[in-house]
């Protein structure tokens, strides 16, 4: 009885089973119940380890097969023609950077200000509910359909494949990520600060620009970085909006352009060993870009939670 009240008090103090000294429990594996429990624990552990295996395998293959081609020429030369040796993926790197930049220019203003509307201007209105619902739907939109959308709008209107069409397609994928994380980040700013500003005669606009956006900046930036990472890795939306090119981008900009993702797709089907190697090298560069953006976003979000915790 005493031990019982004792443990209840301990639980009330810290609601966690960590406090219980499990080692003192008698767990004989000869009993069927404990044996079943033990076996399930082992099985669960094996499944969890198996689930971690693919990432390890992908990273090892990237370093092994992609690293073999790593050189300065990789970043400065054009891809080799069929059956040729040497070359690089310089035009694809530039193409990817350009299209992601275009997508960012479209999606960041729309996403951040849309997030401001959802979190601050009119958070409870029916309009906000509709927008939030549509943003959720866009998150689940198959990326190839974003490409179909950009095709029916930009490509059919301008009559050509271009980085602009690719940028619109990627912006569609990045927009809901940015908007929903921006809303979340702005909402987590304490009400006292904006109330103090309003009390001093600030308009809502001034509150947004001087208080909410600077305070929520790390959270918003997290969303932006994660969205950029997602956009940089997308292939399907670029297949028939930007297509591919074997040459450098010219001044016209409105022409088919290479990208890392489409280069990997095209060269993976190639019968030539040299082109396959470039598919791996391009994957290494692409995964490096994506992982740097993702890890940067995660580090920022940890910092943001730490700041709001203070």
Question: Is residue 249 at the binding interface for another protein, with CB under 8 A as the rule?
Answer: no
Encode 57-94: b = buried (16+ Cβ within 10 Å), e = exposed.
eeeeebeebbeebeeeebeeebbbeeeeeebbbbbbbb
Least Å distance, CB 24 to another protein, is 14
When the beta carbons of 171 and 251 are compared against another protein, the nearer one is 171
When the beta carbons of 29 and 73 are compared against another protein, the nearer one is 29
Q: What is the DSSP letter of 80?
A: P
**Which has the closest alpha carbon to 138: 208, 240, 237?**
237
Which window, 75-83, 86-94, 97-105, 278-286, contacts another protein (CB under 8 A)? 278-286
Characterise 86 by phi-psi region: left (phi > 0), alpha (psi -120 to 50), beta (else).
left
When the beta carbons of 41 and 158 are compared against another protein, the nearer one is 41
CB 224 within 8 A of CB 108: yes
Least Å distance, CB 135 to another protein, is 5
By CB under 8 A, name the one of 30, 157, 199, 309 that touches another protein: 199
CA–CA separation, 5 and 25 (whole Å): 19
CB 71 within 8 A of CB 85: no
By CB under 8 A, name the one of 71, 136, 247, 288 that touches another protein: 136
Helix (H) or strand (E) holding 301: helix 273-309
Question: Is residue 30 at the binding interface for another protein, with CB under 8 A as the rule?
Answer: no
- Residue 146 CB coordination number (10 Å): 24
By CB under 8 A, name the one of 145, 184, 246, 270 that touches another protein: 145
Reduced to 3 states (helix: H, G, I; strand: E, B; else coil), residue 175 is helix
Least Å distance, CB 110 to another protein, is 5
Question: Is residue 9 at the binding interface for another protein, with CB under 8 A as the rule?
Answer: no
Binders of another protein among residues 56 to 75 (CB under 8 A) are 57-58, 61-62, 65
By CB under 8 A, name the one of 5, 54, 72, 82 that touches another protein: 54
Question: Is residue 160 at the binding interface for another protein, with CB under 8 A as the rule?
Answer: no
CB 237 within 8 A of CB 155: no
Question: Is residue 26 at the binding interface for another protein, with CB under 8 A as the rule?
Answer: no
Least Å distance, CB 3 to another protein, is 12
Binders of another protein among residues 78 to 107 (CB under 8 A) are none
């Amino acid at each position: 009885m005493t031990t019982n009240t004792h443990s209840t008090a301990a639980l009330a103090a810290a609601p966690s089973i960590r406090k219980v000294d499990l080692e003192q429990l008698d767990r004989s594996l000869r009993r069927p119940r404990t044996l079943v429990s033990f076996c399930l624990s082992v099985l669960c552990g094996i499944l969890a380890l198996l689930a971690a295996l693919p990432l390890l395998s992908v990273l090892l293959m990237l370093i092994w097969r992609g690293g073999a081609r790593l050189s300065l020429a990789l970043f400065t030369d054009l891809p080799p023609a069929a059956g040729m040796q040497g070359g690089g993926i310089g035009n694809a790197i530039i193409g990817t950077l350009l299209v992601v930049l275009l997508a960012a220019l479209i999606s960041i203003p729309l996403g951040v200000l849309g997030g401001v509307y959802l979190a601050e201007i009119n958070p409870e209105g029916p309009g906000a509910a509709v927008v939030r619902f549509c943003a959720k739907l866009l998150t689940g939109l198959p990326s190839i359909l974003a490409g179909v959308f950009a095709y029916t709008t930009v490509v059919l209107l301008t009559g050509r494949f271009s980085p602009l069409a690719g940028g619109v397609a990627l912006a569609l994928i990045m927009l809901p990520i940015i908007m929903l994380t921006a809303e979340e980040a702005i909402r987590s700013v304490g009400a006292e600060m904006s109330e103090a500003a309003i009390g001093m005669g600030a308009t809502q606009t001034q509150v947004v620009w001087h208080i909410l956006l600077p305070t929520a900046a790390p959270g918003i930036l997290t969303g932006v970085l994660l969205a950029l990472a997602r956009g940089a890795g997308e292939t399907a939306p670029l297949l028939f909006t930007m297509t591919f090119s074997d040459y450098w981008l010219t001044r016209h900009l409105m022409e088919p352009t290479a990208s890392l993702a489409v280069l990997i797709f095209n060269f993976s089907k190639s019968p030539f060993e040299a082109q396959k190697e470039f598919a791996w090298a391009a994957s290494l560069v692409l995964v490096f870009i994506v992982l740097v953006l993702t890890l940067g976003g995660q580090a920022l979000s940890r910092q943001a939670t730490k700041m709001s915790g203070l």
